[in-house]
Amino acid sequence: MDDAGTKPWTWTLPDGHASSDWVRYRRRLETVAADRGFELSALGTACAEPLLMLRGGATSPSAPRLLVASGFHGEEPAGPWGLLEFLEAADQALLSRVRLTVLPLINVTGFRAGTRLNIHGENPNRGYLGLPGENPSHEGRQLLAHRDLLLEAGRDGLLTCHEDVLLSHGYVYSCERAAAPGAFSRTLLAANAAFFPVHADGAVDGCPIAGGIVFNHHDGSFESWLMELGVARAACVETPGQHPIERRIAAQRAMIETFLNFAPDLGD
Ligand code: NI
Can you list the domains of the chain with their CATH numbers? Answer: 27-265 (3.40.630.10)
The answer on pLDDT for 120 being more than 80 is yes
Whole-angstrom CA distances from 139 to 44, 123, 175, 241 are 9, 9, 23, 24
76 Cα to the center of ligand 1, angstroms: 6
Cross-strand bridge partners of residue 67: 101, 158
Using the mean position of ligand 1's atoms as its centre, give its distance from the Cα of residue 95 in Å.
Answer: 26
Cα 236 to middle of ligand 1, angstroms: 9
Residue 4 banded pLDDT, cuts 50, 70, 90: very low
Distance from Cα 72 to the centre of ligand 1, integer Å: 6
Q: Which of 203, 204, 188, 198 has its CA nearest to residue 258?
A: 188
pLDDT of residue 82: 98
The DSSP output letter for 117 is S
Whether residue 256 contacts residue 98, with contact meaning beta carbons closer than 8 Å, is answered with no
Confidence check: pLDDT of 238 > 70 = yes
Q: Rounded to the nearest whole angstrom, what is the distance from the C-alpha of residue 36 to the centroid of ligand 1? A: 28
For residue 1, pLDDT over 80 is answered with: no
pLDDT at 267 over 50: no
- Alpha carbon of 60 to ligand 1 centroid (Å): 33
Sign of dihedral through CA atoms 143, 47, 134, 241? positive
Question: Strand locations in the chain, DSSP E?
Answer: 39-46, 49-57, 65-70, 99-103, 158-164, 171-176, 202-204, 207-209, 213-215, 233-240
Q: In what order do the strands lie in the sheet with 158-164?
A: 39-46, 49-57, 99-103, 65-70, 158-164, 233-240, 171-176, 213-215
Residues 6+ apart with CB under 8 A from 219: 126, 129, 131
Q: pLDDT per residue over 178-236, tens digit each?
A: 999 999 999 999 999 999 999 999 999 999 999 999 999 999 999 999 999 999 999 99
pLDDT at 16: 96
pLDDT over 60 at 3, yes or no: no
**171-206 b/e with 16+ CB inside 10 Å = b?**
bbbbbbeeeebeebbebbbebbbebbebbeeeebbe
Residue 165 CA to ligand 1 center (angstroms) comes to 9
Helix (H, G, I), strand (E, B) or coil at 78: helix
Q: State in Å: Cα 2 to ligand 1 middle.
A: 7
Distance 122 CA to ligand 1 centre (A): 13
DSSP-assigned letter for residue 126: S
Mean pLDDT, rounded, of the chain = 95
Distance from residue 12's CA to the centre of ligand 1 (Å): 20
Q: Give mean pLDDT, residues 133-157.
A: 97
Q: Give the pLDDT band (50/70/90) at residue 7.
A: confident
Q: Give the number of other CB atoms < 10 A from CB of residue 220.
A: 20
Q: Tell me the three state secondary structure of residue 109.
A: helix
Distance 1 CA to ligand 1 centre (A): 4
